[in-house]
Structures are given as structure tokens and as C-alpha cells.
Chains A and B, each alone.
Chain A
């Protein structure tokens, strides 16, 4: 575990959002984000002090290219889809675009059902109120909670229709695609907002791990994990060799917009079943 002191200076930020529409057999909207910044990161940990200069995306975390569309199927029913790629930006010369959030789904009076790689309910409940828009370092959600800010592969998401104005319920099931069900996860969020002044959310996510409590592919002591730990002060490594079989996260978020300023509170905790260690983040903004 690293104890970090970190400072980030953004000397230059350029962000461009472009959107256009092209009609094919159905209307397809192309949108994207190009986001680059020069960063200086100072890090102090138990092995010494380090300084890192780099060109990285900031506001969105990724450069993104997205294709979205919908088709009206009649009686209030729509087919919806999205195909998006990340890492399409110019900061790494040979960077290959990979899938970001992509899905196909149906949207109607029954709610919304989507299949693909999608944001976790935890993200939708907690991350949206982060006033730093998930900038890597100062955001209270940051990157320390694995169950919060990453899109979930092989997932099915169901949003209930809105029975009460402003009340939003989302359920998600993810599949690790293993015969042992390792990596299977269940997520839920409850959000209540008036869309203007107040926002309150509760979210939970449970992920099945292997029998010794390690993340899939993240066994302690591997060179990959060691390198990540050395390079990034924001990476958390679990080594709960005597731990349980589930990793659980809970998030509570609330905000109130006073007009000139917005008060935000967030509490995100994550724990591996059967272990003592518990990671909690609280933040007032």
C-alpha cells in the first residue's frame, strides 16, 4: 500500500467536442472528445520522491469517438445503440482504439434494457456529482474504487420506468464469463433528484472473486501489478490471500445547488469479504 502525496499542475488544457449527423439507413450521430493536458505529478511514497511529466487526458479521462442512434419501433418503443472507442487521441503515437461503452437496447414504457459494456450503477449514482468530472487526482471518487468508475464488460442493465418523478432505479448484472462465475457482479443504484437543486444517490456493487480473494488476473506479486503500483500513485492493490469470495462497494452521494456554489458530499467504500482492510473515501466539495 502506498501513502501518496501528490500534486498535479495543469499547464495547458485543450478540449474539443464535435458533433455531426450523417444519415444512412437510420440516423447516426457521431460525437467525440479530444482532451489533452500537460501534467506534472509529484509523488512521495515509502521508496522516495518521484516527478512525472506527461501528456494525458484530464476532464474526460479518455479521448473518445462515439456513434449513437435510435430507431422508433412504434407505440413508445425505441431501439437504441451506441458504439464508442476510447484512446483515440494523439498523446500516444501508436495507441490503438479500444471499445469504451457500447450497447444495444430497447427503451419504452417498461423501462430501458441495454446489453453490452456499460457504466456501472455506482458510476451513475456517485461519479456524476463529482465537480471535478472525474479528473484523476482531485476527484473524490478518483480511481481507487474498482467498482465505481470503470465500464463493465458483458453486462445487462435495466432502468426501471419513472413511477415517481425524479426517482431513478437502475439494476445491472455483469458476467465474468467463467465457469466458476468469477467476475460476475451485481449493481444497483437509487437516485432522487429534482434535476436542478438537489441530488441524492445510493449505490451498491458486489463482485464475485476467486477463492483466495484476488481480482481476476491481479494476483499479488506479478510484474504487471508491481509496475502499476510503481508507476501510478492512484492504483490500489488488494492482496487478500486469506480473504473471502466477494468484493463489495457502497456509495452515497448528495449535492445541493445553492446557485453561486454547489455543496457536494460523497462517501465511497470498498471491502473484500473476510478481510479487515476497508477502503473508504469521503469528500466535501
Chain B
């Protein structure tokens, strides 16, 4: 019999957002909803198969905890783990996602206002298989994921749509952590997009410095989308203050934008936190130069 654990998060916040157009027209909206991780509900478990081998399972939903919307599928997978490493198949966040998130001082918050996320493969990925190597060299981690677009062959186009190959290498020693991830996402008619993320963090004790750069370039484009994110996370007892400053250059005309997030997380316990966030983004070149968005959020986050 497999042991099954119920787990989840309820994340709801009071959010005030405002946008300003190039013409200076302002608009404000108040919303309620998850602004950090979003809510989730899952069942996970494992079965001991003997000889150091385990079967692992997870069925996972993202329920709407602020509206009547139906829950959506989240990270659900089945796999094996043992001395050979771990193998899982299903839907889960890509190694590219974790490379961005691991070096984001605001926890890669669902609040937004992060301009560095130019790599579209840094997301929840369907129809995926991932293999994580066992620890061969202390501190070194290797993950490889392939995901299928599930296009019938022979397809109308020469290549499958949206097939993704993604690899991530991580290394941690003492206060230093580093990670690099590259991915190729196939498109139609032989086109594809190559993406990457490289990150560093250094733990000074009370504060942790974080930095990552991202890029995405389609074979049909002459230039890459590029993003950078610099952040600092400061721990003051139960309070953690995170600040990120990000920028990006996107599109054929390399439109520039910048963003920032200030996040204060106060832990009422290991599982319950009050999270306050303030963020803004601004387009600083091109036809939309001067348009901006800003938001403030105060929420309650509980995991179980």
C-alpha cells in the first residue's frame, strides 16, 4: 500500500493595481486573489519497491480560492526514484522555471512586475518526462526534461510543434550557488526558439544576493529577447525582506522595460505568513515609452 499525503496552499491577497497609458490615462482596479504562489491542493505518496527503489506519485490541482472557477491541473506526475536518480512523467514545472525561481529574491512571485522572465519555457509544462541524475559529485545537480507537443505524425509541418528539450546544471558549495539552464522549443515549419537562464546567489548570512540573466531567440528573429534580475533577500527573524530589480529588451526593436518588487514576508509560523508586496513596471523605449503599471498587495498565505 502506498502512503498518501494531502498537501496544499491557500494564498489570497487584497491587491490594488494601477496602469498608466502613454497618454497619461490612469486606471485603478482592486482585486482579491493569490499574489505569491497561488493556491494548490495535492495528494502525493510513494511506495517502497525494495532495493532502494521507490514509486512516487503526485496528483495536484490549482483550485480557485477566490472565485467560482473550476480547478485546473497543476503538477501531477508518476515516477521512480532510486540509486539511478529519479524519473518522472506528467505535468510539472520545467528545470528552466526552477533556474529562474531559485535566484529570484522575491520568490518568483505570482504578483508579477518581473521583467526578466523572457523565457517562455520557464513554466508549467505538459506531457513531460524528466530525469534527475543522482549525486555523483557533491553539490552538482543535473536535470533533463523533454516535453512533447503531441502533434500527430506525419505532421503538416516538418517538425512537431512545441516539443521542448530542457537541461539544467546546478552547483552549490558553501554560501555560493550557481545554475544554468538551456532549452530548445520547436515551432512550425522547422522554426525553433533557443532559451537560457543563468543564475548566481551568495549567502552573506543575514542577506543573500541573487542575480540571473535570461534570453530567448527564435530562429526567425535577428535578435534575442534578454532579461536581467538582481535581488537581495534579508532575513530579520520572522521577517524576510526581498527586493528585485529587473530589466528587459524584447522584440525586433528591442523595446526596453524595467520593473521592481519589494516584498515583506512575516512568518506567523512555518506554514502561515503575511505577505506584503509593492511592484511596478515601466516601458522605457519605443512607441509605448512612458506607459507603466504598479501594484500593492497584502495577503495571507498558509500551507498544509
Q: What is the interface of chain A, defined by CB distance below 8 A to chain B?
A: 22, 24-26, 28, 30, 67, 69, 71, 73, 77, 79, 81-83, 85, 96-100, 102-106, 115-117, 151, 153-156, 175, 177-179, 181, 184
Q: Is the CB–CB distance between A116 and B268 below 8 Å? A: no
Main secondary structure of the interface of A (DSSP, over half): strand
Is B150 part of the binding interface, using a Cβ–Cβ cutoff of 8 Å?
no
With a cutoff of 8 Å between Cβ atoms, the chain B residues found around residue A115 in the complex are: 12-14, 32, 66, 299-300
Q: Is the CB–CB distance between A179 and B65 below 8 Å? A: no
With a cutoff of 8 Å between Cβ atoms, the chain A residues found around residue B272 in the complex are: 71, 73, 79
With a cutoff of 8 Å between Cβ atoms, the chain A residues found around residue B30 in the complex are: 175, 177, 181, 184
The residues in B between 54 and 78 inclusive whose CB is less than 8 angstroms from any CB of A are 63-71
Q: Of B33, B70, B271, which contacts A25 at CB under 8 A? A: B271
Q: Is the CB–CB distance between A175 and B32 below 8 Å? A: yes
Expressed in whole angstroms, the minimum distance between the Cβ of B217 and any Cβ of chain A is 36
Contacts between chains A and B (CB distance < 8 A), count: 128
Main secondary structure of the interface of B (DSSP, over half): strand
Bound Cα distance A103, B14 (Å): 13
With a cutoff of 8 Å between Cβ atoms, the chain B residues found around residue A151 in the complex are: 68
Listed A/B pairs (22) with beta-carbon separation below 8 Å? A25-B303, A28-B304, A30-B6, A73-B269, A79-B271, A81-B10, A98-B68, A99-B65, A99-B71, A102-B39, A103-B10, A104-B65, A115-B14, A116-B12, A117-B67, A153-B67, A153-B68, A154-B31, A155-B66, A175-B30, A175-B31, A178-B29
With a cutoff of 8 Å between Cβ atoms, the chain A residues found around residue B148 in the complex are: none
Expressed in whole angstroms, the minimum distance between the Cβ of B12 and any Cβ of chain A is 4
Give the number of residues in B that approach A within 8 Å (Cβ atoms).
Answer: 38
Q: Of A67, A154, A155, A179, which contacts B8 at CB under 8 A? A: A67
Q: Is the CB–CB distance between A67 and B41 below 8 Å? A: yes
With a cutoff of 8 Å between Cβ atoms, the chain A residues found around residue B67 in the complex are: 99, 117, 153-154
A81-B304, A105-B300 as given contacts; A116 in contact with B271, CB under 8 Å: no
Expressed in whole angstroms, the minimum distance between the Cβ of B176 and any Cβ of chain A is 30
> Residue-by-residue, is B264-278 near A (CB-CB < 8 Å gives 1, otherwise 0)?
000011011000000
Q: Of A67, A71, A99, which contacts B271 at CB under 8 A? A: A71
Is B11 part of the binding interface, using a Cβ–Cβ cutoff of 8 Å?
yes
A102-B10, A102-B65 as given contacts; A69 in contact with B304, CB under 8 Å: yes
With a cutoff of 8 Å between Cβ atoms, the chain A residues found around residue B41 in the complex are: 67, 83
With a cutoff of 8 Å between Cβ atoms, the chain A residues found around residue B63 in the complex are: 83, 85, 99, 102
Is B302 part of the binding interface, using a Cβ–Cβ cutoff of 8 Å?
yes
Bound Cα distance A100, B7 (Å): 19
Q: Is the CB–CB distance between A99 and B69 below 8 Å? A: yes
Residue of A nearest to B33 (CB): A154
Q: Is the CB–CB distance between B65 and A96 below 8 Å? A: no
Q: Is the CB–CB distance between B32 and A116 below 8 Å? A: yes
With a cutoff of 8 Å between Cβ atoms, the chain A residues found around residue B4 in the complex are: 22
Q: Is the CB–CB distance between B269 and A79 below 8 Å? A: yes
A-B interface, 3 closest residue pairs, ranked by CB to CB distance from nearest? A102-B65, A154-B32, A104-B10
Expressed in whole angstroms, the minimum distance between the Cβ of B2 and any Cβ of chain A is 14
With a cutoff of 8 Å between Cβ atoms, the chain A residues found around residue B27 in the complex are: 179
Q: Which of A71, A85, A115, A181 has the most CB of B within 10 A?
A: A115
Q: Is the CB–CB distance between A156 and B32 below 8 Å? A: yes
Expressed in whole angstroms, the minimum distance between the Cβ of A93 and any Cβ of chain B is 16
Residue of B nearest to A102 (CB): B65
Is B289 part of the binding interface, using a Cβ–Cβ cutoff of 8 Å?
no
Is B243 part of the binding interface, using a Cβ–Cβ cutoff of 8 Å?
no
Residue of B nearest to A67 (CB): B41
Residue of A nearest to B4 (CB): A22
Expressed in whole angstroms, the minimum distance between the Cβ of B257 and any Cβ of chain A is 22
Is B5 part of the binding interface, using a Cβ–Cβ cutoff of 8 Å?
yes
Q: Is the CB–CB distance between B304 and A155 below 8 Å? A: no
Q: Is the CB–CB distance between B64 and A99 below 8 Å? A: yes
With a cutoff of 8 Å between Cβ atoms, the chain B residues found around residue A71 in the complex are: 269, 271-272, 302, 304
Given A102-B10, A116-B10, A154-B33, 4 additional A-B pairs, CB 8 A: A73-B269, A153-B67, A155-B32, A175-B31
Q: Is the CB–CB distance between A104 and B71 below 8 Å? A: no
Bound Cα distance A160, B6 (Å): 32
Residue of B nearest to A98 (CB): B70
Bound Cα distance A22, B4 (Å): 9
Bound Cα distance A178, B27 (Å): 10
Bound Cα distance A97, B66 (Å): 15
Bound Cα distance A159, B141 (Å): 49
Residue of A nearest to B274 (CB): A106
Q: Of A79, A117, A156, A175, which contacts B268 at CB under 8 A? A: A79
The residues in B between 31 and 50 inclusive whose CB is less than 8 angstroms from any CB of A are 31-33, 39, 41
Q: Of B5, B13, B65, B69, which contacts A83 at CB under 8 A? A: B65
A25-B304, A117-B68 as given contacts; A77 in contact with B268, CB under 8 Å: yes
Expressed in whole angstroms, the minimum distance between the Cβ of B48 and any Cβ of chain A is 19
Residue of B nearest to A77 (CB): B268
Q: Is the CB–CB distance between B271 and A26 below 8 Å? A: yes
With a cutoff of 8 Å between Cβ atoms, the chain A residues found around residue B302 in the complex are: 71, 79, 81, 104
The residues in B between 170 and 195 inclusive whose CB is less than 8 angstroms from any CB of A are none
Is B301 part of the binding interface, using a Cβ–Cβ cutoff of 8 Å?
yes
